[in-house]
Amino acid sequence: MARIGRRDIRAFEDLYRAYHPRLTRFLMTMTRRPPLVEEVLNDTMMVVWNRPERFNGTSRLSTWIFAIAYRTALGALRRQDQPLEDKDADQRPDSEPGPERQLGDRQVQAVLLSALDDLSSDHRAVVDLTYFHDMGYREIAEIMDCPVDTVKTRMFHARRHLKRILSGQLADWL
């Protein structure tokens, strides 16, 4: 970051290439809008390039960059009228019967992708940061600028939804 602060374009390119796969994955999961991913990703990295002094070292670099990406994606989704929160998540009954599906292993991924589409962008962000990026709930709360209990609650609802959709498969997992 010190080199980027000195406008070292090679250092910035290295950082860009290092974060591109992770940010693509995160933004893809969060926004579900491929045409938006590259633009949000590049806007995120433009902030890193133009405002390196804002990284003060009190958090991990990845936390800072992901927080920028999260806020940039939220802004982009707002402008596209994408629901940011799943207002009905709390109201869905636990006992709602899941679809009677007998899924093969090859179908699990497709069903998971479909189930993630039903979640809000905030819920998808928590799921992705937890399961794929291996982040703890405190770091996720810092990225999303929310209380840790909110992270846990979002994860609770997301897991419940995913498990309900995958109910036909769960017995095979045990």
Partner 1 sequence: MSGRIIPLRGEPHERIQALLPWFVTDRLDAAERAEVEAHLGGCVDCRTEERLERRLSAEVAAMPMDVEQSWARLRARLDRPSPYRDRGSGGGLAAAWRGLGRRLRGGPPWMAQPVHGGPPWMGWAMAGQAALMVALLAMVWPHAGPAPGVDARYHALGAASSTRVGNVVVMFRPDTPERDLRAALVADQARLVDGPTAAGAYVLNVPAARRDSALTALRRRAGVVMAERIDATGAR
Query: What residues between 62 and 121 interact with partner 1 by CB under 8 A?
Result: 71-72, 74-76, 78-80, 85-87, 89-90, 108-109, 112-114, 117
- Find out whether 28 and 132 touch, Cβ atoms under 8 Å: no
Of residues 64, 121, 128, 164, which one binds partner 1 by CB under 8 A?
Answer: 128
- Find out whether 4 and 47 touch, Cβ atoms under 8 Å: no
Interface with partner 1 in residues 28-57 (CB under 8 A) = 28-29, 32-43, 45-47, 49-51
Distance of alpha carbon 161 from alpha carbon 61, whole angstroms: 32
Q: Which of 132, 129, 127, 135 has its CA nearest to residue 162?
A: 127
Classify residue 47 as left (phi > 0), alpha (psi -120 to 50) or beta: alpha
Of residues 52, 55, 155, 161, which one binds partner 1 by CB under 8 A?
Answer: 155
Q: How far is the CB of 51 from partner 1 (least distance, A)?
A: 8
User: Which listed range, 57-65, 93-101, 144-152, lies at the site for partner 1 (CB under 8 A)?
Assistant: 144-152
